[in-house]
């Protein structure tokens, strides 16, 4: 992926638009991150008003987007959901037909839906709009809980910050976990959040107990090679397993077992990228026990084998391992 076009339409959301600019438009070559040819485009070049009273001047029409490796669709106001510019719909259809990446942020998924490219696919949008999308487009399998959904080379994301999760997910696919972690550190955000929108719907600003669980999760990350169980973690938290599981789900939006599995995979990714360790040793250090179990879990979660991942993303010979 080398070229990225971000499509903005009247009434665009500044934050979500900024997410695409931040993820794909900044020069991070000093950190060893390859630059993308990133351009903002719109159907009719000129002044494009945002939804909160200021405008941006966009010089480029959609021509560049027809050749871009990634087309990003920014959110549009609900009054435009059933009246999307036909030129943008044609662009989206063309991008999907030529197998380019297409990524929508928040209500930008309604543009993809209007183009018909989500029919028969799983997708998501902001939880406030999920029911509306399912009603308007019954052929789409709308997941109201996911932070983002990848179906083929189409990625749809939930509201606001979930767009950043989706961008980092795509960067992880294209650049690998190590470079994506570097990008996330510069953004001062976690490289990957677990859980879904459900953790935000009931209590957008909850009084969490995550600080009470932090010593446990920190300890887990230092001891991934151990054979860990929920009962052991609950004991370290001085809770019953049932209370621990309930509180963990409330804080992290996922189960302790699912969170632990994700941390093991992330650690295995790093070892595959940054070391020459064999699969048996990586499996041991990541807590999978054997190379066979590592392969099974790695392939299920990432869609490719550890060997294929290493062949694509290994940088062990480029600099001393920092693990």
pLDDT > 70? residue 187: yes
Residue 201 located in a structural domain: no
Kindly state the percentage of the chain with pLDDT values over 90: 64
Residue 74 located in a structural domain: yes
Q: Which helix (H) or strand (E) holds 289?
A: none
pLDDT > 50? residue 222: yes
Q: What is the reported pLDDT for 204?
A: 33
Residues in the chain: 323
171 and 59 both lie in a single domain: yes
- What is the rounded average pLDDT of the residues 3-9? 97
The Cα diameter of the chain in Å comes to 61
Domain boundary among the residues 136, 159, 187 is at 187
Q: What is the reported pLDDT for 185?
A: 83
pLDDT > 90? residue 317: no
In tens, the pLDDT along 292-301 reads 999 999 888 8
Picking from 315, 21, 38, the residue whose alpha carbon sits closest to that of residue 167 is 21
List, in sequence order, the alpha helices (H) in the chain. 14-24, 86-97, 109-115, 130-136, 161-175, 177-187, 198-201, 210-222, 230-236, 241-252, 256-274, 279-286, 291-302, 306-313
Domain boundary among the residues 187, 215, 232 is at 187
In tens, the pLDDT along 237-262 reads 999 999 999 999 888 878 999 999 98
226 and 164 both lie in a single domain: no
CATH number at residue 247: 1.10.10.60
Q: What is the reported pLDDT for 213?
A: 86
pLDDT > 90? residue 18: yes
Q: 322 CB contacts (<8 Å, ≥6 apart)? A: 274
**Phi/psi of residue 305, nearest 5 degrees:** -75, 160
Q: 267 CB contacts (<8 Å, ≥6 apart)? A: 224, 285, 286, 287
Task: Decide: 109 and 117 in contact? Cβ < 8 Å.
Answer: no
Q: What is the reported pLDDT for 73?
A: 96
- What is the rounded average pLDDT of the residues 58-70? 97
Residue 198 located in a structural domain: no
Q: How far, in Å, CA of 75 to CA of 50, rounded? A: 10
Which pair of structure tokens corresponds to residue 306?
A: 């550890």
Range with lowest mean pLDDT among 5-19, 123-137, 207-221? 207-221
- What is the rounded average pLDDT of the residues 139-168? 90
175 and 211 both lie in a single domain: no
Q: What is the reported pLDDT for 205?
A: 32
Q: What is the reported pLDDT for 211?
A: 61
22 and 141 both lie in a single domain: yes
29 and 167 both lie in a single domain: yes
Picking from 70, 97, 77, 95, the residue whose alpha carbon sits closest to that of residue 169 is 70
Q: What is the reported pLDDT for 274?
A: 87
241 sits in the region (left: phi over 0; alpha: psi -120 to 50; else beta) called alpha
Q: How far, in Å, CA of 128 to CA of 294, rounded? A: 38
CB atoms within 10 A of CB 129: 22
Range with lowest mean pLDDT among 47-51, 52-56, 89-93, 198-202? 198-202
| Kind of pairing between the strands at 141-142 and 122-123 | parallel
Q: Which helix (H) or strand (E) holds 99?
A: none
Domain boundary among the residues 157, 187, 217 is at 187
The band of 178, judged by pLDDT with boundaries at 50, 70 and 90, is confident
Number of domains forming the structure of the chain: 2
* Secondary structure tally for the chain: helices H, strands E: 14, 10
Residue 79 located in a structural domain: yes
Q: What is the reported pLDDT for 201?
A: 43
**Sheet order of strands, 154-157 included:** 37-41, 3-7, 70-73, 101-104, 154-157, 148-151
Domain that holds residue 151: 3-187
177 and 233 both lie in a single domain: no
The band of 194, judged by pLDDT with boundaries at 50, 70 and 90, is low
Q: What is the mean pLDDT of the chain?
A: 87
Q: What is the reported pLDDT for 228?
A: 92
35 and 86 both lie in a single domain: yes
């Amino acid at each position: 992926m080398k070229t990225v076009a971000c499509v903005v339409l009247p009434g665009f959301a500044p934050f979500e638009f900024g997410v695409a600019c931040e993820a794909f438009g900044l020069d991070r070559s000093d950190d060893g991150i390859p630059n993308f040819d990133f351009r903002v485009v719109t159907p009719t070049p000129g002044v494009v008003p945002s939804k909160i009273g200021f405008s941006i001047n966009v010089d480029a029409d959609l021509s560049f987007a027809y050749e871009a490796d990634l087309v990003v669709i920014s959110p549009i106001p609900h009054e435009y959901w059933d009246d999307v510019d036909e030129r943008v719909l044609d662009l989206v259809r063309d991008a999907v037909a030529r197998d380019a990446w297409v990524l929508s942020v928040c209500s930008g998924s309604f543009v993809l839906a209007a183009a018909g490219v989500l029919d028969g696919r799983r997708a998501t949008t902001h939880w406030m709009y999920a029911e509306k999308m399912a009603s308007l487009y019954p052929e789409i399998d709308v997941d109201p809980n996911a932070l983002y959904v990848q179906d083929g080379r189409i990625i749809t994301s939930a509201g606001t910050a979930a767009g950043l999760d989706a961008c980092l997910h795509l960067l992880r696919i294209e650049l690998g976990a190590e470079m994506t972690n570097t990008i996330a550190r510069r953004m001062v955000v976690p490289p990957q959040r677990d859980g879904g929108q459900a953790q935000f719907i009931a209590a957008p600003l909850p009084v969490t107990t995550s600080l009470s669980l932090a010593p446990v999760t920190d300890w887990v990350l230092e001891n991934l090679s151990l054979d860990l169980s929920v009962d052991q973690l609950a004991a370290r938290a001085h809770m019953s397993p049932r209370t621990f599981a309930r509180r963990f789900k409330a804080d992290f939006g996922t189960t302790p077992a699912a969170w632990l599995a994700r941390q093991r995979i992330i650690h295995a990714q790093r070892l595959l990228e940054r070391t020459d360790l064999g699969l048996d040793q990586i499996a041991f250090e990541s807590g999978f026990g054997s190379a066979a179990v590592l392969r099974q879990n790695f392939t299920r979660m990432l869609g490719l084998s550890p060997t294929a991942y290493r062949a694509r993303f290994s940088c062990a010979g480029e600099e001393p391992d920092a693990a």
